[in-house]
Amino acid sequence: MNATPSSSPAMSYFAKELSWLSFNERVLQEAKDKSNPIIERMRFLGIYSNNMDEFFRVRVADVKRRILLNKIPDANFEEDEILLHQIQSKVLQLGKKFNQIHKDILNDLNEHNIHVELPEKLSEFHVTWLKKFFHDNVLQYILPILLSEKKDYSDQINDTMTYLFVEMTNQKSHYAMLEVPTDRVSRFVILPPEKTRRHKTIVMLDDIIAYFIRDVFSSFFSFDDIQCYAIKLTRDAEYNLDDELEEGLLDKMSKGLKQRISAEPVRLVYDESMPDDMLKVMKKRLNISQHDALIPGGRYRNFRDFIAFPNVGRQYLENKPLPALQSTAFTNHSSVFDAISEQDILLYYPYHTFNHLLEFVRQAAFDPDVTQIKVNIYRVASQSRLVSTLINAAKNGKHVTVMVELKARFDEQNNIEWAKTLSNASIKVIFGIPALKVHSKLCVIHRKEKHNIVKYAHIGTGNFHEKTAKIYTDFSLFTKHEGITEESDSVFRFIESSYKPFQFDHLMISPVNARETITSLINKEITHAEQGKTGRITVKINNLVDKELVDHLYFAARRGVKIRIIVRGMCSLVPSSLSGNDNIRIISIVDRFLEHPRVMVFHNNGKEKVYISSADWMTRNLDHRVEVATPIYDAKLKQLIIDILELQFKDRTKARIIDSEQKNSYVRRGNRKKIRSQIAIYDHLKKWESNYNNE
C-alpha cells in the first residue's frame, strides 16, 4: 500500500507572515544593489515601504485580531503571541537596514549632483524662495488638530498620510497634529537653480512644514518653544458586512469602507529622535496598545511616496525603457477576430503592449457582428480606457455584462464608483457570489459568423489595468477554442447562479474543481516517478501557503518527483524539510518588473500540460474565490512559456535561493553566463516576434 500525504512524516513550514517579510527583504536588497540605477534604488525603498504598509494593514492586523479574540489563552494564543513578537523583531531589524540604505543612497545621489537637503542647510536665496512657496502653496492646506488630554485621537488620522506631531511649550506643554498635504502638494519640492544647473536640490514637503511650523501656530498661540516630528499610523484593513438581505451589496460596501477610517491601529512609526516625554504623550493620545507595533524610524514617514521619486539628473540614473513589443499575430491582421481565428495568441506584459487587449475590446464595441461582451473587473485604472470602451459598446447596442468585484482589497471605493458609472450607462452590472471574491481575469465576446454565434475569450493572470500592465509581468491568452470559450462563458453563468451545477472539462475553476485537478495532476507525476519514468512539476506563483498542497509537494518529492518553484512572495514550503532529498528547488526573482503570473507545468510523461492561472496556491484562492486557470493547447505557445520559465531558472543576477534559513542568498553564477532573466525574456520575445512569419 502506497503512502499518502496525510500519513507522511511531519514536515516543517515557514510562517507565512515571516516568509512575506523575507520577500520584502529581497525588495530591500534591490535598493541596496549598486548595479541598479540610483533613482531606481530610491524607488525600491518606496516599494518596500508600500509593501510594509499593506503587510501591517492585512497580515499583522489578522494576527493581532486572533490574539484579541482569543479570550482564553491556549496553544494557538501562545503561538500567535510568539509570532507577533517575531514579526516585530524582524521589522525592527529590517528598519535599521532600511535607514542605512537610505543614507547610502542619499550620499550616492550627492555624487550625481542631486541633493536632498534640509531647509536649515540652504542658502538665504533658497530659504527666501521656500518661505514664499510655503505661504503661497502649502499653508492653505494645513489644518491642525489640537489635542486635549482625555480624548483618543487615533480615529482622526488618515492612515494613508504622514502627520507631524507638534509640541508647543511655555509654562506647560500643548500638543497638536497636522496632516502633511501630499494629496495637494508634491512631496518632492525641486528648488530653482542658484548657481550651476548641474546642482539639483530637492526639499521634502515634510521638512518645509517643520521649518516654518511657527508660522502655522504663532497667530493663535503664545509659546516659548515649538518642535514637531513625523508619525505614521497604520490600521486594520478588515471590515465587516452585515447580512441584512434588504440592503444591497453596494450600500453595504460603502458602509463597510467607512469602518476603515476608524479601525483599530496596528502600527505606529515615529521619528526616532522624538523625545521620550513627547513619545509617551503621543502613545496616550493615539491609544497605542501593547499589541501594536511601535517602531522608531528615520526622519521620513510614508516612504511609499518615494516610488515616484523624481529623476532631476541624467537619463542613465533610471532604468532604460524597454519599448513594448507588438504581437505579430495581431499586427498581421486588421481584425483582432481574424487574428484569433487563425490561431491562439499569447501576450506577456509588459514585454508586449497592453494595447492589444484594449484593441480586442474596442473592436468588439463597434463591430456590427458582435452581440455580447462580458468582462469581470477586479482592479482597473482610475481613468480606465477599458471601462470607457465598454460604455461605448453599450451605446452601440451591444449587450454588455460587467462583473465588478467590490471586495478587491484597497480598490473597493474605485470599484464602487465604476459600478455606479457602468449601471448609469445601462450596462448590466453583477456583483458576484456572497462570501466569494471573483478574482478571475475573463473577457468573453459573442460574435455572429455565418449564421452561428462564435465565442472569443481572453483569460489572463493579471488585471485589466493599463498602469500596472507596464510594471507587472502577466500572461494573456486570446482564443477561439470552443471548449475554452464555452466554459469561460459558463463562469459568468456560475457567478450569477452558483447554486446550479456546472461541468468544466478544460478550465480549472476555483472553488469548483481547481484543487481536485491540481491534486490529480500531481498524483500523475508521482505515478510516473514510481514507475521509473520522469516525474516533474514546475510552478511559478506569487504565494505558496496552502498546507494541503504543500504537503502534497513534500510527498511527491519523496516519491521521486522533481519539483521546481519560482515564488515571488510567501512560501510555507521549506526545501530542506526532506533530509537528504534535493528534489525541491525554489527561487525568487525581484527585478524592475513585479513578477505576477501563475503558471503550472506538469511533465505528463513528455506530453507537457501547461496552465496559466489567476490563482495562487493559497486556501483562499482555491476554496474561497472564483479563479480561472486555462490550459495552453497550442504547441508553440506552450513551448514559449516553458522557454520563459527556463530563462528564469537560469537567472544569475536577480534570482535568490529560498532555503530553510531565509537568507535570500543570490543564485551563484559559477562559470555560467551572467543572465538577467527579465532582460533575457525581452530579447527572447523580440526575436520570437521577428521570426513569427518565418515559422
> 166, 217 in Cβ contact below 8 A?
yes
C-alpha cell at 288: 497605542
How far, in Å, CA of 321 to CA of 353, rounded? 13
Query: CB under 8 Å to 599, separation ≥6 — which residues?
Result: 461, 475, 538, 539, 540, 541, 610, 611, 612, 613, 641, 645
Q: How far is CA 553 from CA 565, 574, 605, 695, in A?
A: 11, 11, 18, 38
How far, in Å, CA of 618 to CA of 515, rounded? 10
Strands (E), 87-162: 114-116, 145-147
DSSP 8-state code for residue 13: B
β-strands 428-430, 399-404 pairing: parallel
Helix (H, G, I), strand (E, B) or coil at 546: coil
How far, in Å, CA of 615 to CA of 610, rounded? 14
- The answer, yes or no, to whether the previous bond of 511 is cis (omega within 30 of 0) is yes
> 350, 469 in Cβ contact below 8 A?
yes
C-alpha cell at 677: 532573466
How far, in Å, CA of 297 to CA of 280, rounded? 16
Nearest to 538 by CA among 665, 682, 641: 641
Count of CB atoms situated within 10 Å of the CB of 3: 11
Instruction: Decide if 439 is catalytic.
Output: yes
Which residue(s) pair with 476 in the sheet?
347, 460
Cell numbers 456590427: residue:
368
β-strands 163-169, 225-235 pairing: antiparallel
CA angle at 620 for the pair 618 and 623, rounded to the nearest 5°: 105
> 581, 553 in Cβ contact below 8 A?
no
What spatial distance separates the first Cα and last Cα of the chain, rounded to whole Å? 50
Helix (H, G, I), strand (E, B) or coil at 449: strand
**E strand or H helix at 439, and its extent?**
none
Helix (H, G, I), strand (E, B) or coil at 77: helix
Nearest to 380 by CA among 347, 346, 403: 403
> 554, 578 in Cβ contact below 8 A?
yes
> 225, 380 in Cβ contact below 8 A?
no
How far, in Å, CA of 567 to CA of 39, rounded? 26
Phi, psi of 629 (to 5 degrees): -120, 135
**Which one of the listed residues 102, 126, 352, 439 is annotated catalytic?**
439
**E strand or H helix at 495, and its extent?**
helix 482-496
- The sign of the dihedral angle between the CA atoms of 327, 329, 332, 334 is negative
C-alpha cell at 659: 532555503
Count of CB atoms situated within 10 Å of the CB of 220: 8
What amino acid positions are annotated as catalytic residues? 439
